């Protein structure tokens, strides 16, 4: 059994894999982390673990966990199942490394575009030769709502909502239309641009906003909220 820990910008995902199958998966807070991790180690008799962190986790918690299980902390020098051609590998986020590892494992010999719609929207491309070439980063949906509120004097902070149409008839409707339709058009446009340059392109959508966006995009995609966790499990297995 493998224990998989993904510490994101706003939440922690923790999962247990039996080979390639997820048998436990939940979202927890930082305060719950150590207790939950120890509980899962006990319940499932996990022997190996991997930690991917782009957020804040106390070093003492990591050290305590490392004393109880074979723990791999993912970074840019970890062994990975693809060729990393990123110009600045030290700055490549571990979340993106995990996503590309998942693509390399699940779609070998394919051109794959991974779109992770979370705090940020990231685009990552791995070609059919297994070469990771990079991608793009833009603000996520909630970040766009927050920025309109924080950097203006009068615009309200709204919760994510599907706009009723293209033309907003009130300030709130205009915000929803601008943000949600803007994100959808951005993603669709990027997909079309990648498709023009790469034959037989496979597109994967994942991240916290995957369910909100998947039915609104016009392009054919694989929607998989667990794609990053699967990538971490791939890396862990690859390093044992």
Q: What is the pLDDT of residue 69?
A: 93
Q: What is the pLDDT of residue 223?
A: 95
The domain spans of the chain are 2-73, 83-232
> Which tens digits make up the pLDDT trace of 92-114?
999 999 999 999 999 999 999 99
Domain 2-73 matches domain 83-232 at the CATH topology level: yes
pTM: 0.93
CA–CA separation, 63 and 122 (whole Å): 30
Q: Which helix (H) or strand (E) holds 196?
A: helix 182-197
Residues 6+ apart with CB under 8 A from 141: 117, 121, 160, 179, 180, 183, 209, 212
Q: What is the pLDDT of residue 125?
A: 98
Q: 83-232 domain in CATH 3.30.930.10?
A: no
CB 132 within 8 Å of CB 82: yes
Q: Does 93 count as an annotated binding residue?
A: yes
CB 144 within 8 Å of CB 239: no
CA–CA separation, 98 and 232 (whole Å): 5
Q: Does 152 count as an annotated binding residue?
A: no
Q: Does 209 count as an annotated binding residue?
A: no
Low-confidence ranges of the chain (pLDDT < 50): none
Phi, psi dihedral angles at 193 (to 5 degrees): -65, -40
Q: Which CATH number fits domain 2-73: 3.40.50.150, 1.10.3720.10, 3.40.50.2000, 3.30.420.40?
A: 3.30.420.40
Q: What is the pLDDT of residue 27?
A: 93
Which residues are designated catalytic?
A: 95
Q: Does 9 count as an annotated binding residue?
A: yes
Q: Which helix (H) or strand (E) holds 22?
A: strand 21-28
């Amino acid at each position: 059994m493998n224990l998989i820990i993904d510490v994101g910008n706003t939440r922690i995902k923790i999962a247990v894999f039996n080979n390639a199958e997820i048998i436990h998966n939940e979202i927890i807070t930082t305060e719950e982390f150590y207790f939950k991790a120890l509980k899962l180690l006990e319940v499932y008799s996990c022997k190996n673990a991997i930690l991917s962190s782009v957020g804040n986790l106390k070093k003492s918690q990591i050290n305590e966990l490392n004393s109880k299980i074979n723990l791999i902390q993912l970074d840019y020098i970890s062994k990975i199942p693809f060729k990393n051609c990123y110009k600045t590998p030290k700055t490549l986020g571990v979340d993106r490394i995990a996503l590309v590892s998942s693509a390399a494992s699940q779609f070998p010999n394919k051109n794959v575009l991974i779109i992770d719609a979370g705090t940020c929207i990231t685009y990552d491309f791995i070609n059919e030769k297994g070469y990771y070439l990079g991608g793009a980063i833009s603000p996520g949906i909630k970040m766009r709502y927050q920025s309109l509120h924080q950097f203006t004097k009068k615009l309200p902070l709204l919760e994510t909502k599907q706009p009723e149409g293209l033309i907003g008839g009130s300030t709130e409707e205009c915000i929803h239309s601008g943000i949600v339709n803007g994100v959808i058009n951005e993603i669709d446009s990027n997909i079309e641009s990648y498709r023009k340059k790469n034959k037989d392109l496979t597109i994967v959508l994942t991240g916290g906003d995957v369910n909100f966006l998947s039915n609104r995009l016009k392009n054919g995609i694989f929607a998989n909220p667990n794609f990053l966790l699967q990538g971490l499990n791939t890396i862990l297995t690859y390093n044992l």
